[in-house]
Amino acid sequence: MFGPAPITWTPVQGAISYDLRVEEGNGRSEEFTSEAPSASIVKYYGTGILHYQVPAEFPTSTGGKVPGAYTPLQSSLLILAAPQGARGVRAGSRVLVTWNPEPDAKQYEVEISTTSGFGSRIESHRVDGTSWAPNLDLRRKQYRGALYWRVAPVDQNGGVGSFASGSFTTQRSRASGCSSKSKRTRHTSRCKKR
């Protein structure tokens, strides 16, 4: 995985710095300079496989630098991980999907479906926060069965990452302030729902 974990390489004796050359999946390449034999990517976007190489730089007698040989080409998988802590709750006629924030996400893609394979999506939305409560009429016959949700991070360029998914769990409402009266032939209960 590429991103939060630092990229490291073996230090070269006599080197004063290193150039990290990153070849992105879209054909572009960028170079970064580091005095240490490691680098951390602070901000990244997109998914796929990228490649990188590192040449050490050595001092010259005139105060400049001269590059050494490149390390062998390394590959790394670039992913946007599925949000952690995602869950979906169904309470009465409402549904709610919540999740923990992902540091590389600008937005989140949230979908609701009547099938676990999401071939029958009934709602799809991009949100900025970490929860979404769609305006669904759960009294409609087609929504009375199982409903499924999924959520994925979206990067700054609109790339969609991995999905966390599940089915809605039913949140039962609690009753409080109940009183009951019993007579010989009939029973009465009164409960106030919270």
Q: What is the mean pLDDT of the chain?
A: 82
Classify 87-170 by CATH class. Answer: mainly beta
- Which residues share a beta bridge with 37? none
What's the pLDDT at 183? 43
Give pLDDT tens digits for 44-91.
666 777 788 999 999 999 999 999 999 998 887 777 889 999 999 988
Q: Which of 7-16, 23-32, 99-108, 121-130 has the lowest mean pLDDT?
A: 23-32
Quick one: pLDDT band at residue 159, thresholds 50, 70, 90? confident
Number of neighbouring beta carbons within 10 Å of residue 77: 11
Q: By C-alpha distance, which of 87, 82, 49, 50 is closest to 154? A: 82
Quick one: pLDDT band at residue 171, thresholds 50, 70, 90? low
The pTM for the full model equals 0.64
Assess if CATH 2.60.40 describes domain 7-78: yes
155 and 102 Cβ atoms separated by less than 8 Å: no
CATH 2.60.40.10 domain range(s) in the chain: 87-170
Residues in the chain: 194
CA pair distance 109, 125, nearest whole angstrom? 6
